């Protein structure tokens, strides 16, 4: 997504969400309804997501990611400033609209959470970060919402971010990459890997811009640097928990041998690291309308036709919910077409916009409409073990 939107520092629930919460936000009587008017309390079946070939499965049944992105309330909010009520209400609203998974940036650009030395070595980790994440994952379990946790972003490396040189020093050193994986990533897994609602770990948001853009490290940071980091982190994750691993590439360009090369392929990550467990469990490329002149709309074709290698589940990890004037597709169209063409999920991005002193999710109702429509089409795959009622 654009650099402007990535620098937005806060957003909260839209007026639509606030009105919806007025009717359901304080409800703790464990009542919930589906499109068919049935309910299901998940008491005994494991909610853990695993991979079977090119499918996600839960308790042996296929899972479809009816997802979205709620990346932050305020920039770097898991640094000791988390608003528990906001996230509790957010998860409640997502559950009410049959959204089963959301992508959250647990670290937006670095220094307030993982503090580095000028050499790129870890100096310390903010203990308040873990306290906030303890709360976040407790709320995810309470509401039955899967989390794709994004650990880093191109923003870490972007000038004038105060720590950008430290993060470039980290990513260009194998020793520093190993230290980050063996310290921060390992502790993250040990703390939250047993939570069945940690669906996946997204190692980095849109590393493409670190490689391509001058302000992010072009010419200084190579794909070998980035992919070594991905491979080492993936290996540590696989060694310490059962959580799935992905990388949210901004373009199919670097995720496919059809274009510039698949820089997150099993072969490339294993070659760089020498580690057999250095691999991604699924692909999650992003797609925006500006790509249409070069890359086809993924929703209308299979993941393999789009350029992915056909060996893993594939989710569209970021796409707008409001670009029908450019793509000719509503958010509901995107979800349904992707489902029909064998994709394993869609996660819309809801752009934050400023309205005076208030912040809101832009046109959240489009995502809600799409997710609720999909629940009528594929309810059993969205909730393969039944829809969880709030604890």
Q: How far apart are CA 245 and CA 149, in angstroms?
A: 10
What confidence score (pLDDT) does residue 291 get?
Answer: 98
- Cα–Cα distance, 219 to 200 (Å, whole number): 31
What three-state secondary structure class fits 236?
helix
Instruction: List the one residue out of 284, 280, 383, 257 whose CA is nearest residue 338.
Output: 284
Q: Are 115 and 126 in contact (CB under 8 A)?
A: yes
Task: Check residue 5 and give its pLDDT.
Answer: 40
pLDDT, tens digit, 9 for 90 and up, residues 223-269: 999 999 999 999 999 999 999 999 999 999 999 999 999 999 999 99
Token pair, residue 390, equals 């709030």
pTM exceeds 0.85: yes
Of 165 and 4, the structure prediction assigns the larger pLDDT to 165
Q: What are φ and ψ of residue 287, in 5° steps?
A: -145, 130
Instruction: Look at strands 345-349 and 316-320 and give their pairing.
Output: parallel
Distance CA(263)–CA(194), nearest Å, equals: 29
| More confident site: 350 or 56 | 56
| Averaged pLDDT score across all residues of the chain | 88
Q: Which two tokens stand for residue 316?
A: 């569209």
Residue predicted with more confidence, 323 or 162 = 323
Average pLDDT of span 282-290: 97
Sort strands 101-105 and 55-58 into parallel, antiparallel or unpaired.
unpaired
Measured from the Cβ of residue 252, the count of other Cβ atoms closer than 10 Å reads: 24
Give the chain's length. Answer: 391
Q: pLDDT (tens digit, 9 = 90+) per residue, 13-32?
A: 443 343 333 333 333 333 34
């Amino acid at each position: 997504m654009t650099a402007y939107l990535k620098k937005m520092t806060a957003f909260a629930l839209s007026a639509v969400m606030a009105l919806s919460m007025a009717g359901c936000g304080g409800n703790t009587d464990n009542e919930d309804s589906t499109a068919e008017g049935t309910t299901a309390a998940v008491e005994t079946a494991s909610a853990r997501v695993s991979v079977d070939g090119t499918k996600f499965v839960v308790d042996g049944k296929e899972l479809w990611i009816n997802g979205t992105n709620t990346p932050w309330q305020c920039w770097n909010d898991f640094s000791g400033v988390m608003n528990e009520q906001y996230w509790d209400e957010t998860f409640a609203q997502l559950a009410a609209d049959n959204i089963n998974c959301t992508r959250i940036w647990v670290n937006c650009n670095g220094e307030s959470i993982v503090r580095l030395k000028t050499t790129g070595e870890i100096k310390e980790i903010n203990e308040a970060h873990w306290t906030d994440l303890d709360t976040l994952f407790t709320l995810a379990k309470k509401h039955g919402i899967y989390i794709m946790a994004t650990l880093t972003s191109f923003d870490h490396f972007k000038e004038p971010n105060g720590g950008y040189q430290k993060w470039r020093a980290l990513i260009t050193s194998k020793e520093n990459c190993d230290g980050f994986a063996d310290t921060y990533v390992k502790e993250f897994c040990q703390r939250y890997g047993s939570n069945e609602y940690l669906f996946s770990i997204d190692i980095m948001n849109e590393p493409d811009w670190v490689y391509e853009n001058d302000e992010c490290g072009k010419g200084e940071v190579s794909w070998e640097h980035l992919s070594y980091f991905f491979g080492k982190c993936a290996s540590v994750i696989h060694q310490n928990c059962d959580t799935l691993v992905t990388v949210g590439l901004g373009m199919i360009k670097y995720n496919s041998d059809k274009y510039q090369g698949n820089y997150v392929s099993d072969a490339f990550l294993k070659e760089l690291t020498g580690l057999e467990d250095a691999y991604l469990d699924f692909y999650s490329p992003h797609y925006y309308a500006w790509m249409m002149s070069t890359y086809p709309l993924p929703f209308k074709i299979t993941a393999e036709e789009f350029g992915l290698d056909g060996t893993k589940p594939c989710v569209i990890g970021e796409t707008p919910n409001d670009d029908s004037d450019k793509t000719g597709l509503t958010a509901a169209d995107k979800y349904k077409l992707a489902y029909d063409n064998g994709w394993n999920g869609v996660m819309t991005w809801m752009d934050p916009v400023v309205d005076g002193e208030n912040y809101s999710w832009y046109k959240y109702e489009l995502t809600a409409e799409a997710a609720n429509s999909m629940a009528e089409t594929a309810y059993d795959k969205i909730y393969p073990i039944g829809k969880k009622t709030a604890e």
